[in-house]
Amino acid sequence: MSKAANSTGDDRGKKGYAKGRVKKREILSTAMTLFGEVGYRGTSLREVAARVGLTHTGVLHHYPTKEALLQAVLAYRDEVDAEWLGLGETTGVETLQRLLALVGRNAKRRHLVELFCVLAAESTPASHPSHDYFVSRYRTLIKELTVAFEEAGKAGKLRKGLDPRVAAQQFVAVMDGAQIQWLLNADSIDMVEVVRSHLAGQVTLPD
C-alpha cells in the first residue's frame, strides 16, 4: 500500500474520531437537559436519541446503558466546573470566593442547576444509580471546604467560635437551598447576594 493511501486512511480515521467526539458531546449536552427537565427515571435513551438525530442503537454505540450515560453526564459536569474553578490553585477565603463566583455562573446555566437539584433529590434512595456519586460528592466537597475554612481561620479571617466543618456544611446548605428557591421563582431571589451575605457572616471578605 502506498504512503498516500495510508495517509488517506489516517485522515479518515482522525475525521471519524473527531466526529464521534462531537456527537458524544451532543449526546451529553442533550442528556443533561433532559435529566434536568424530567429527572433520570423520566428520561429514556430513545428520547435522547431523537433529540440528537440518532437511532436508539446509535446512542447505545456511545453509551451502552442509561446508567452509563448518567455517569458520563455527571463526570462531564464536574470536569467543566473543576476546570473553571481551578480550586487547586486557591486557598482559604480565595477558594470560598471562587465558589461564590460559581453561583453567579450557575445563574446563567439553568439546565445544569436543574440537573443537579433533580438528580440530588432523586438519588437519596440507595438503589438510585447516582446515589454513590452524590454521597461521595458531598463528602469530598465538605472536606475541601472544611480545609478552606481552616485556612481562613489560620489567616485570622474566620468568625470567632465557628467550627470549620460546621461552616462548610452551612455554606453548602445555603448554596443548595438558594438554587432550589431560584429554580422555583428566579425573580424572588438573588442567589449570589444570598450566598455572599451568608459567607460574609462566616469569614472576612476583601472589600
Domain ranges across the chain: 1-65, 86-207
pLDDT at 81 over 70: yes
Q: What percent of the chain has pLDDT over 70?
A: 89
Average pLDDT, the chain: 88
Is residue 203 helix, strand or coil? Answer: strand
Confidence of residue 52 (pLDDT cuts 50, 70, 90): very high
Selecting from 3.30.200, 1.10.540, 1.10.1060, 1.10.357, what CATH number does the domain 86-207 have?
Answer: 1.10.357
Q: What is the pLDDT of residue 17?
A: 56
DSSP letter, residue 158: B
- Mean pLDDT (whole number) for 33-54: 89
Residues 40, 130: contact at Cβ < 8 Å?
A: yes
Confidence of residue 10 (pLDDT cuts 50, 70, 90): low
The arrangement of secondary structure in 1-65, i.e. its CATH architecture, is Orthogonal Bundle (1.10)
The whole-model pTM stands at 0.77
What's the confidence (pLDDT) of residue 154? 96
pLDDT band at 16 (very low <50, low <70, confident <90, very high): low
Residues 154-162: contacts with CB under 8 Å, at least 24 apart: 154/92, 155/92, 155/93, 156/204, 157/92, 157/93, 157/203, 157/204, 158/202, 158/203, 159/201, 159/202, 159/203, 162/202
pLDDT at residue 164 is higher than 80: yes
Any idea which residue has 504512503 for its cell? 3
169 has a pLDDT exceeding 90: yes
Determine the Cα–Cα distance for residues 15 and 59; give it in Å rounded to an integer.
Answer: 19
Q: Give the whole-angstrom CA distance, residue 114 versus residue 200.
A: 27
* Alpha helical stretches, state H, 39-91: 45-52, 56-62, 66-85
Closest CA to 59 of 36, 88, 30, 80: 30
Instruction: Answer yes or no: is pLDDT of 4 > 80.
Output: no
pLDDT band, very low/low/confident/very high, at 195 (cuts 50, 70, 90): very high
CA of 36: how far to CAs of 17, 27, 104, 109, in Å? 29, 14, 19, 11
